[in-house]
């Protein structure tokens, strides 16, 4: 049996001190040890991006990152986007935009896209549609065809943008 190693990190602003098997992924520790099950795990090979979280503000595939590599970092998961920890807490602006633009169907990919979009809009609040599309291409969605996801991120960035008009049925 592998000897657990100490791990200190902040998750959604809360400090945690843990002892983890050094072989475990960040996604596994977030979900099982910290109860942050909003992060979904699909392929576990770094392809789909459903497990995307922010580590010190950068989007990472948490299935590929060892938890030990997150020592001393600040991790943000999809749970951080709502106004409070309860499932009924008010949705954050990007979550609301996803809801309003029907940017999810099964929803499995949604936490990853929300964190990807959050990182993009923080760094590049003026990102245009082409840049948003390029960013969204990092993750996989089998349901939506991506158009609504790009609409939702664009509308969150710029009310009045083509994305914000998508509800009128206009093709982008």
Q: Which is nearer to ligand FES, 8 or 58 (CB)?
A: 58
Give least dist CB 25 to ligand FES, A: 8
Q: Which is nearer to ligand FES, 158 or 172 (CB)?
A: 172
Q: Which is nearer to ligand FES, 37 or 105 (CB)?
A: 105
SS (H, E, C) 19-82: EECCCCEHHHHHHHHCCCCCCCCCCCCCCCCCCEEEECCEEEECCCCEHHHHCCCEEECHHHHC
Q: Is 170 helix (H, G, I), strand (E, B) or coil?
A: coil
Q: Which is nearer to ligand FES, 37 or 158 (CB)?
A: 37
Q: Which is nearer to ligand FES, 120 or 141 (CB)?
A: 141
Give least dist CB 113 to ligand FES, A: 7
Q: What is the DSSP string of 72-130?
A: T-EEE-GGGGSSSSSTTSPPPHHHHHHHHTT--SS-SSHHHHHHHHHHHHHH-TT--HH
Give least dist CB 151 to ligand FES, A: 14
Give least dist CB 80 to ligand FES, A: 18
Angle at the Cα of 22 (from 2 to 113), degrees rounded to 5? 145
Give least dist CB 39 to ligand FES, A: 9
- The contact set with ligand FES (CB under 6 A) reads 41-44, 46-51, 61, 63, 104-109, 141-144
């Amino acid at each position: 049996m592998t000897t657990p190693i100490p791990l200190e990190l902040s998750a959604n602003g809360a400090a945690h001190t843990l002892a983890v098997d050094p072989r475990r992924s960040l996604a596994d520790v977030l979900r099982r040890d910290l109860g942050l099950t909003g992060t979904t795990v699909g392929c576990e090979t770094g392809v789909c991006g459903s497990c995307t979280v922010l580590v010190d503000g950068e989007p990472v595939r948490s299935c590929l990152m060892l938890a030990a590599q997150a020592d001393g970092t600040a991790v943000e998961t999809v749970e951080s986007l709502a106004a409070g920890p309860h499932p009924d807490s008010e949705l954050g602006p990007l979550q609301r935009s996803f809801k309003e633009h029907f940017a999810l169907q099964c929803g499995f990919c949604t936490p990853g896209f929300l964190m990807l979009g959050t990182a993009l809009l923080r760094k590049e609040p003026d990102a245009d549609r082409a840049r948003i599309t390029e960013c969204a291409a990092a993750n996989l969605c089998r349901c939506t065809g991506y158009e609504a996801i790009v609409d939702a991120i664009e509308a969150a960035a710029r009310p009045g943008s083509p994305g914000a008009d998508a509800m009128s049925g206009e093709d982008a």
